[in-house]
Structure 1
Amino acid sequence: MEEVGYLKYKGSLVEQGVIDAKSAGMALVGLDETIRYFNSRQSSEFAKLEYDIPVHIEDGSWVAIVLAGVAAVGGAFALGYAKKAGEKMAENDFKDIGLSDVFKKSFSALSSLLRLSKHTGKSKDWDLDNVVWRNNNKEIGVYNNSGELIFIEVEYIKWFQSMPPSLISKLTDPIREHRTLAIGTKTADGFEEQEVSNQEKKIFSKSFEEDDCDEFIFPEIQHGDDVQLEGKLTRGNEQSNTVGFEYQGHILNCIPEEGTIVRYKPALFLKCIIEGTAVRHSKKRVSPDRKPTIIVKNIIPLNAEHQDGLF
């Protein structure tokens, strides 16, 4: 089993390797969802496979180390990886790349996202008009307000633009004064860390799924309307059996008309069309809810090649 990256909280609050259960749970869920997202961007087959991300917890500071290798994951994933992802990845020049390489690249992308966000002071909506290109246009240089420049792989920038920001907020939410987040990425020389301090936490803290206003959203969608909406699935929660659907800048809560959300996993993080019925009285009988809830009859993923480009 190979260590490919880690999530760490360090500082005087975690000197004994102890962290509260809520923070630990949120961090592990956020890590799992973030790595799965970046894995799926490398090959869409990862969105269709059932697999676990092995994690080993260490003391000292609170560290969750991600392990990779067919022996580490074993079972159904090993078979699925060999029979499904392996064949698909071979078609896309992934033939000589193993599972550990995929995980390492996902950690590299996560580290780059933290570095870009800290550099610009923003976790999304970066200025990509005034940029510098290098390495045969495989890397893009982004300026901050001070005129300083850092280079990020163009491939990563594309991934970041379609990524639900709430994934990162789950990793940064446990940050406190005297408790810093560090993401370790495996390199040829060991591990390279990217840290986020309590002062930098505000860059990532605002969840995309929170609306700052009390306005009545989408008044044209009435209670009981049959709808067909195009947007993007941003999350899935098997416990509540709900999915989050990004539609015109807002996240709508969606509930399957029947069955579980498991069958919608292939559409997670992708643009798709949702067909269903709008409900605006799920919380109050007298006054309608501020946002509609969608009772889902069908989710149709759109082809990956139709996803947005860099600009």
Structure 2
Amino acid sequence: MPTELREYEEVGFLKYSGEGMQSGVIDAGSAGSALTGLDEALRFFNAQQSPDLATLSYDIPVQTRAGSWEALVLGGMALGGAFALGYAKKAGEKLAENDFKDIGLTHALRKSMSALQWLAKVIKHTKRPRGWEIARVEPIGPITLAVVTNSKGEELPVPLEYIQWFHQMPPRLLLKMTSIVRTDRILTIGAVYGSKVEQVTIAEEDKPLFNNTEDEDIEEDVLFPELVHGTNAQIVGRLIRGNEASNTVGLEYQGHVINCIPDSGSVRQYKLALFLRCKVEGRVTRHSKDRFVADRRPTLILSRVIPLEPDGQLRLFGS
């Protein structure tokens, strides 16, 4: 291995394989779309692990490999040397100052690649880009798993932390990577842990699951018109995410997510209700964005959350 690459290790990969791909040649437009999509996804998942990485300027090193068209995501053996060359001096100093140094950028990139392939697995399992059904949450040793079910009742245990990230992600996060899949071009997303590789493949028949152009902000009709602005409502749904920064929780209701804001206090008060079916009570507002224009999607100002199933060990925002 060349000297300048010895400080790197492979943490994951994005691979396009199939007939005609053996030479490792791909058109520039497809390569650009794949790499841009990979970069955007990794930066999103990195930022979930450390808010500092949402603001710092840094590069994600990749290396292409022939035999198929494959982009290897590289982490540094140590924070420094060749790996630090892609960073502005100021960003490097900032990384050395804050708590993120205790995680390590290589660890973050590997975990982000793991989250990326788990996202693809969840979408393939449920045949849905979002609005997944969580049957239960199970602590397995140091890891808590969310059991995701599909329309056949089949179960897929997924790290709960990743599910929380997925509910925060922008829509169609995988679109740029999956849009270039063809009949003779299969996408494989993999996370590498030394000699162990976890991966998922996306073929042409899977492509519509990821190319969903539906946007939560663009709806033909008013969502849930029975929830009238200014009225009090009681809704039964499942709390699927919480965000302390915005002091909001998301309620999954009839295949959609309704944003909820506590009428007083912090959303931490609802931490034991995450992923449980709950009855929520609150006031409906449809003017959260503009007091003169009604929102298509209602917002609930929560006054009460009542879990309808027991599970006292769940943690919404950490300990």
TM range (shorter): 0.5 to 0.7
Q: 1:58 to 1:188 in 2, by over 3 A?
A: closer
Q: Structure 2: which amino acid aligns with 1:164? A: P
Q: How many residues align?
A: 226
Report the counterpart of residue 95 of structure 2 in structure 1: 85
Bigger Rg, which one: 2
Task: Report how far residue 88 of structure 1 moved.
Answer: 2.9
- Is 1:166 matched up with 2:172? yes
Matched position secondary structure for 1:33: helix
**Alpha-carbon distance in 1 for matches of 2:130, 2:220:** 23
Q: Tell me, yes or no, if the aligned pair for 2:84 and 2:92 is still in contact at 8 Å.
A: no
Q: Tell me, yes or no, if the aligned pair for 1:49 and 1:80 is still in contact at 8 Å.
A: no
Q: Tell me, yes or no, if the aligned pair for 1:123 and 1:204 is still in contact at 8 Å.
A: yes
Q: Tell me, yes or no, if the aligned pair for 2:123 and 2:130 is still in contact at 8 Å.
A: yes
Matched position secondary structure for 2:170: coil
Matched position secondary structure for 1:174: coil
- Is 1:133 matched up with 2:143? no
Describe the superposition over 1:7-60 as per-residue Cα deviations: whole angstroms up to 9, x where unpaired: 100011312211111111100000000000000000000011111111111111
Task: Report how far residue 148 of structure 1 moved.
Answer: 1.2
Report the counterpart of residue 237 of structure 1 in structure 2: none
Task: Report how far residue 112 of structure 1 moved.
Answer: 0.7
Q: Structure 1: which amino acid aligns with 2:153? A: G
Report the counterpart of residue 289 of structure 1 in structure 2: none
Task: Report how far residue 122 of structure 1 moved.
Answer: 1.0
Task: Report how far residue 210 of structure 1 moved.
Answer: 9.6
Report the counterpart of residue 64 of structure 2 in structure 1: 57
Question: Where do 5+ consecutive residues of structure 1 fail to align?
Answer: 217-229, 231-247, 250-274, 276-307
Q: Structure 2: which amino acid aligns with 1:83? A: E
**Alpha-carbon distance in 2 for matches of 1:153, 1:213:** 31
- Is 1:120 matched up with 2:130? no
Task: Report how far residue 71 of structure 1 moved.
Answer: 3.1
Report the counterpart of residue 99 of structure 1 in structure 2: 105
Report the counterpart of residue 261 of structure 1 in structure 2: none
Question: Where do 5+ consecutive residues of structure 2 fail to align?
Answer: 1-7, 223-245, 247-257, 260-288, 290-315
Q: Tell me, yes or no, if the aligned pair for 1:131 and 1:143 is still in contact at 8 Å.
A: no
Q: Tell me, yes or no, if the aligned pair for 2:132 and 2:149 is still in contact at 8 Å.
A: no
**Alpha-carbon distance in 2 for matches of 1:76, 1:170:** 24
Q: Tell me, yes or no, if the aligned pair for 1:2 and 1:68 is still in contact at 8 Å.
A: yes
Report the counterpart of residue 49 of structure 2 in structure 1: 42
Comparing 184-193 with 97-106, greater Cα deviation is found at 184-193
Q: Structure 1: which amino acid aligns with 2:145? A: E
Q: Which of 11, 14, 19 matches 1:7? A: 14
Matched position secondary structure for 1:5: strand
Q: Structure 1-normalised TM-score? A: 0.63
Q: Structure 2-normalised TM-score? A: 0.62
Describe the superposition over 1:242-281 as per-residue Cα deviations: whole angstroms up to 9, x where unpaired: xxxxxx99xxxxxxxxxxxxxxxxxxxxxxxxx9xxxxxx
Counterparts of residues 15-30 of structure 1 (less than 5 Å): 15-30=22-37
